[in-house]
């Protein structure tokens, strides 16, 4: 292991332990690491915006014939007026353009790409040739989807049939949220394991290399 690699592992270990130290108490090491972290994350955007937007998406194409790209160029410069309270209204057009295009896309794909296929794939036969397991699953699915939709229905008070369906809905919802919590715990623990794996295998592993 070369000197540079050793330095890199110790640098990462310092950053990791400095941030973990907050678990015990807020301390200067943590505050140093946190402020460097905020700065680096912002600095990353400078390089990214310059390269992937200004140079390759705006300037080069504009120079090689697509002159009308000066329009989005101006709109993106107007975005910076958001920083001054007096002129922030100038940036509204740029914001409106971004929101308009995104809303136009979302209007289509939310309905066509989510609602339609999700409704269609819930329409399964309640009985038929498949085994009991599949039919039971279909019944659970159909009841679960309908009762969840009814639970989030507000135009009428949840009484009578509507009330009963909503009541079934809340039990389904509780099972789903329980499953979600159980699943999430593993995710959070894995992230900790990733860091401890580095500290033990790479950092402590490098102790032998010193000297």
Partner 1 sequence: MVRYVAGEQFAFTATVNGYMMRERPATNIYMGGFFAESLLLAETGNAAGSIQIAGTPRPEQLPFFIAACDYTLLGEELYAASAYLSHQPVMLGGLKGQDFVKMLLVICLVLGVLLVTFGIGETYLGWFESV
Partner 2 sequence: MSIWTKLETLDRRWVYLMVSIAVIVPFIIEAKFPISITPEARKLFEAVEAVPDSSNVFVVFDYYASTTAECEPMSRAAVRHFFRKDCKVITLTNIPLGGPSMSERVTREVALEYDKEYGVDFVNLGFKYGYVAVLSGMGTSIESIFPTDNSGTPLSELPLMDSVYNYDDIEFIFEVADNATAEFWVSIVNAQYGVPIGCGTTAVSAPKYYSFVQSGQFVGLLGGMKGAAEYELMMDQPDLAVRGMAVQSLVHLLIIGFVVLGNLGYFLGPRKKKRSAF
Partner 3 sequence: MRTTVPIAVAFIAGMVVAVSYFFADESAIGWLRLEFLVWLIIVGGMTLALGVVSIVRVNWDAVKKRKEGWPYKVLTLVSVFAMGVPAVLPESWSPLFGRNQGSIYEWLFTYLDAPMMATMFATLAFYIASAAYRAFRARNAEATVLLITATAVMLWRVPMGEAFLNLFPGDIPYFLNTYIMAGANMAVQRGIIIGAALGAASMSLRIILGIERTYMGRG
The first and second tokens of residue 11, run together, are 């640098």
Q: Which does 128 bind (CB under 5 to 8 A by kind): partner 1, partner 2, partner 3, none?
A: partner 1
Q: Residue 156, SS3?
A: coil
Q: Which of the residues 122 through 151 are near partner 2 (CB under 8 A)?
A: 141
Q: Which of the residues 73 through 112 are near partner 2 (CB under 8 A)?
A: 98, 101-102, 105-106, 109-110, 112
Does position 29 bind partner 3 by CB under 8 A? Answer: no
Q: CB–CB of 101/109 below 8 Å? A: no
Rounded CA-CA distance 44/49 in Å is 9
The residue to which tokens 């819930």 are assigned = 122
The first and second tokens of residue 100, run together, are 């308009």
Q: Which does 63 bind (CB under 5 to 8 A by kind): partner 1, partner 2, partner 3, none?
A: none
Tally of helices (H runs) and strands (E runs) in the chain:
8, 0
Neighbours of 18 (CB within 10 A): 19
Q: Which of the residues 70 through 129 are near partner 3 (CB under 8 A)?
A: 71-73, 75-77, 79-80, 82-83, 85, 88-89, 92-108, 110-112, 114-115, 118-119, 122
3-state secondary structure 50-84: HHHHHHHHHHHHHHCCCHHHHHHHHHHHHHHHHHC
Does position 27 bind partner 3 by CB under 8 A? Answer: no
Does position 45 bind partner 2 by CB under 8 A? Answer: yes
Q: Which is nearer to partner 3, 127 or 183 (CB)?
A: 183
| Greatest pairwise CA separation for the chain in angstroms | 79
Q: Which does 100 bind (CB under 5 to 8 A by kind): partner 2, partner 3, partner 1, none?
A: partner 3
The first and second tokens of residue 16, run together, are 């990791």
Which value, in Å, is the radius of gyration of the alpha carbons in the chain? 28
Of the residues 5, 26, 130, 201, which one makes contact with partner 1 according to CB under 8 A: 26
The residue to which tokens 């009963």 are assigned = 164
The first and second tokens of residue 49, run together, are 């915006």
Does position 158 bind partner 3 by CB under 8 A? Answer: no
Residues forming contacts to partner 1 in the complex (CB under 8 A) are 22, 26, 34, 38, 112-113, 115-117, 119-120, 122-128, 142, 145-146, 149-155, 173, 177-178, 180-181, 184, 188
Residues forming contacts to partner 2 in the complex (CB under 8 A) are 23-24, 41, 44-45, 48, 51-53, 55-57, 60-61, 98, 101-102, 105-106, 109-110, 112-114, 116-118, 120-121, 141, 170, 176, 179-180, 183-197, 200-201
């Amino acid at each position: 292991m070369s000197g540079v690699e050793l330095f890199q592992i110790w640098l990462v270990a310092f950053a990791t332990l400095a941030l973990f130290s907050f678990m015990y108490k807020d301390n200067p090491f943590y505050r140093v690491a946190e402020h460097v972290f905020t700065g680096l994350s912002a600095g990353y955007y400078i390089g990214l915006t310059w390269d992937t937007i200004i140079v390759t998406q705006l300037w080069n194409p504009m120079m090689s014939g697509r002159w009308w790209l000066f329009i989005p160029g101006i709109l993106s410069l107007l975005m910076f007026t958001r920083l001054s309270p007096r002129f922030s209204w100038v940036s509204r057009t740029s914001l409106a353009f971004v929101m308009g295009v995104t809303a136009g896309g979302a209007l289509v794909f939310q309905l066509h790409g989510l609602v339609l296929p999700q409704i269609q794939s819930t329409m399964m036969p309640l009985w038929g040739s498949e085994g009991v397991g599949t039919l039971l699953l279909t019944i659970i699915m159909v009841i679960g989807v309908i009762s969840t939709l009814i639970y989030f229905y507000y135009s009428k008070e949840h009484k009578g049939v509507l009330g009963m369906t909503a009541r079934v809905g809340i039990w389904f919802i509780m099972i789903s949220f329980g499953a979600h919590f159980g699943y999430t715990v593993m995710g959070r623990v894995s992230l900790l394991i990733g860091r401890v794996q580095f500290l033990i295998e790479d950092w402590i592993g490098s102790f032998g290399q010193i000297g």
